[in-house]
């Protein structure tokens, strides 16, 4: 699965994208976030307040209970500020 990070999430985590194997026991966005938070201090810091994290799966906004599968493109970012 491809993971993308944007804006201050990218800055805090320190990378803009990576490819990972779908972790065992992870089948939803919420479970993926929990798994990511345990990957190290940078992830824990960036993801500590889930209320300011938005997620897109395959370029559509999704809620925490949305399924994730191997091969998905999953993006994490703060609320958008365009226009």
Partner 1 sequence: MIRVQREDFDVGAEIARLTEGRHEIGGIVTFVGVVRDTAQGDRIRAMTLEHYPGMTEKKLGEIEAEARRRWKLEASLIVHRYGRLEPGERIVLVITASGHRQAAFEACEFLVDWLKIKAPFWKLEETSAGPRWVEAQSGDDAATKRWVAE
Interface residue list for partner 1 (CB under 8 A): 4, 6-8, 56, 59-60, 75, 77-83
> Residue 66: which H helix or E strand, with range?
none
For every residue of 1-24, DSSP letters joined together read: -EEEE-HHHHHHHS-SEEE-PPPT
Shortest Cβ 9–partner 1 spacing (Å) = 9
Shortest Cβ 31–partner 1 spacing (Å) = 22
Cβ nearer to partner 1, comparing 19 with 59: 59
DSSP lists the bridge partners of residue 56 as 61, 75
What SS3 class is residue 49?
coil
Cβ nearer to partner 1, comparing 25 with 60: 60
């Amino acid at each position: 699965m491809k993971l993308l990070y944007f804006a201050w999430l990218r800055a805090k985590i320190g990378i803009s994208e990576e490819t990972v194997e779908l972790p065992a026991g992870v089948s939803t966005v919420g479970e993926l976030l929990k798994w990511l938070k345990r990957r190290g201090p940078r992830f824990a810091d960036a993801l500590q307040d889930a209320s300011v994290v938005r997620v897109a799966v395959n370029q559509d906004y999704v809620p925490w209970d949305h399924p994730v599968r191997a091969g998905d493109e999953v993006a994490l970012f703060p609320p958008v500020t365009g226009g």
